[in-house]
A = this chain, B = another copy of it.
């Protein structure tokens, strides 16, 4: 059902400073930047490695663009750090339905737009051992995005 670690989402107060840290300290480069109005974030994807399902694993750096976004609330409560983890799947709607049947609350009725044209949903962290867990269907995994 899940074929890769798609990304690790990291909440930061200043995206440009976070990008600079990851570039200058580790040599990681930004693959993609975008604003996701629905999620209330400005974000950068840093590709770390390819995966044997034909995809890749990324770090996703997230800066809130408004005070009521989930990432802004996370920063208020916890400070900077790991916000969520994401698994890649070929069919996010099907994976979400399966996981829901197994007793985990899925946060969206239907998948929404994620990074780089992906389709995403989130699972309730209280049902996942405290881990906010995202499911990602990359644009290249098959079906078109919801854009």
A positions within 8 Å CB-CB of B: 1-5, 8, 10-12, 18, 21, 24-28, 48-53, 57, 59, 78-82, 85, 87, 99, 102-104, 125, 128-131
Contact = CB atoms under 8 A, between A and B. Distances in A.
Contacts of A80: 129-131
B85 A8 contact: yes
B18 A129 contact: yes
12 contacts: A3-B49, A5-B8, A5-B48, A8-B85, A12-B129, A25-B99, A49-B51, A49-B53, A50-B52, A78-B130, A80-B130, A81-B131
Contacts of A26: 1-2, 87, 99
B87 A48 contact: yes
Contact of A82 (B48, B50, B85): B85
A5 B48 CA distance: 7
Contacts of A2: 26-28, 48
B3 A81 contact: no
